[in-house]
Structures are given as C-alpha cells and as structure tokens.
Amino acid sequence: MSPTFPPSGGGHANWSPAPGHTRSEAYQADVQELLTRITPTPMSGHPSMDPETAKAEIAKRHREIMEILGLNLEDDSLSGTPDRVAKMYVDEIFRGLRNDEFPKITVVENKMRYDEMLIEVNITFNSTCEHHFLPIMGKAHVAYLCKGWVLGLSKFNRVVDFFAKRPQVQERATVQIHEALSQILRTDDVAVVVDALHCCVKTRGIGDEGTITRTSRLSGNFLSNPSLRTEFFSALPQPHTVHLI
C-alpha cells in the first residue's frame, strides 16, 4: 500500500510542498511554525538585536569584564579578544538562538517502502552550559520508524547542531531535538539519546574528568514496545565507550 501524507493536527507542525514537488512527493518544514511548538529556551522576550549590533554590544561588555579582571587590553595578545568573543557568540556557538539559522528541511516520500527502524549514532555536537557558559561536548543518537516519509541523513546532524548552538541544559536539548524530529517526520515513533561531557563538572567545582551524562526521550512505539526499545538501546554505544573529546 502506498504511503499517504499524514493529516494535519495531532500536535505536529503545518507543512507545505517543496518547490517543484507535489504534496504526495515531498514537503518542506514550516520552520517558524515548527519552532513555536518546541520546548523553549528561556528568552527575555525583548526584540533581538541584528547580528552586527549584537557583536558591538557584546564586545563592549566583554572588554569591561576583562578590565575588571585587571587584564591589559593594550597587549597585542588581548586587544582583539572582545571582538573575537563577540563574533564567536553571535556567528558560532549561539547562532541557534536565531530562527533563520534552522536548516532547510525537505522530507521526501518513502518510495523504497522501507519500514524498519533507522538509527544514527554518534552525532557529534558542541554546546554551551547555560549555568557557567562552559562547553558541553557530546554525541547524540537518534532513531525513527520509517513509514510514509524519510529524511536525508545529514539533516539529523543539522537539527542536533542547531539546538546545540545555544546556551543549554542537556535535558532541554534532548527534548528539543526529539520534538523537532517528531514534527519534521510527522510521527511519534522517534527516539533520542544524548551522551555528554560537561566542562562545568570537569574543570570546576568537583573537577571530575570521567563523568558522562546520558539523557533520553522516547515516544510512540519506542516507548510502548519493549522489544523495539531494547533493540534501540542495544544498538547504542555504552556511555563509557563514547569518545567525546
């Protein structure tokens, strides 16, 4: 039986066909609608600055922090640091705060009729702990049951990277990745596991270098079907074998 386009509703985002395709061949994620249905990152609600203004303001404030610490901003090794930090924040490690950075996602009809689990393991990501602004280095493992629609494999990596590129806690990142993939694929049969090393644990406080944190979010058949859940977790690397750095 040929796959059919899932009806709208059911907690999933609205979708429109990709340019040049009919509704039965492909659809493109409505990013703005999708992101309104994702567990939010805490935001002030104030209008966002344009990137160049944000860089200028961050550089100014980072210079003040460095001066408070007693650093010599005239030194040739330090003079460019405020601008480098500002560029890094806006264009790199926090670019996931901008909706326009969400990857373009086109989902295509499952013409090959593949109907088993698809799993990607060891998706590398780098994020930032929102409590101390120190790095979180991790691997995400994602899976879904293929039904009517399939997603290009690199898109899983891009979705993970988007939500990693913002101040985060691991629990929220896991939920956001799961919610996004569930909406994009229009199915509840999605599983996400995240393994991460937190530098706020490794380099400060307790200073434990060996701690790996694992979080998960499962839904649909991954939650209700014990054998499928076992198959999924059996395919994952054990946390102590995951190479995070």
End-to-end, the C-alpha distance of the chain in Å comes to 46
29-54 exposure pattern, b = at least 16 Cβ within 10 A, e = fewer: bebeebbeebeebeeeeeeeeeeeeb
Of residues 160, 164, 202, 201, the one with CA closest to residue 180 = 160
The three-state secondary structure class of 97 is helix
Residues marked as catalytic = 129-132, 170, 198, 200
Contacts of 227 (CB under 8 A, 6+ apart): none
Cβ-proximal residues to 185 (8 Å cutoff; 6+ apart), any chain: 107, 144, 149, 151
CA dihedral 171, 217, 166, 196 (to 10 degrees): 70
Q: CA 17 to CA 9: how far, in whole Å?
A: 17
DSSP β-ladder status, 117-129 and 167-168:
parallel
Cα–Cα dist 160/124, whole Å: 9
The helix/strand/coil state of 96 is helix
CA distances from 188 to 75, 105, 142, 146 (A): 55, 18, 13, 11
